[in-house]
Structure 1
Amino acid sequence: MSTPDKLIPYRGRIIGILIGFVLAVLLLTIGFGPTILIVAFMAIGFIIGKWRDGQLNIESWMRFFAKDR
């Protein structure tokens, strides 16, 4: 079993650590406001890309946000 195969069960944790590291570096170098703006544009880009791929299910999002809490 090679090293990449051993890391597959920890894929989510590794990605989370990398995202946290990148956000920490951005916060320390450019500040809070610009970092939040970059994250917001990334989220918008992700949603647009998912919509263009035909994998965005708007009805499920509406049900999620409209359910009683």
Structure 2
Amino acid sequence: MSITQYHLLDTYRARQLGEPAPPAPGAHDWQVVREWRDHRQFRAVVTGRPAHGRLRRALSRWLHPHPRSTC
């Protein structure tokens, strides 16, 4: 069964039992992504790493390497 078929079956069962209908598939995807991002930022702060711009900083170092000084 596909996700849509499961959702239709759950909606039918909820209606038969007088319960509220379940949310549509994908209704909370962006909320999950935001919570995952917030959790990643929290873990970065707890471990002492910068929470913002880590990917951009890494790409910047890769694309624009600084010459190493020879002392």
| Structure showing greater relative contact order (alpha-carbon pairs closer than 8 Å, 6 or more residues apart) | 2
Give the structure with the larger helix fraction: 1
Q: Same fold (TM over 0.5)?
A: no
TM-score, normalising length: structure 1:
0.41
Whose radius of gyration is greater, 1 or 2? 2
* TM, length-normalised to structure 2: 0.40
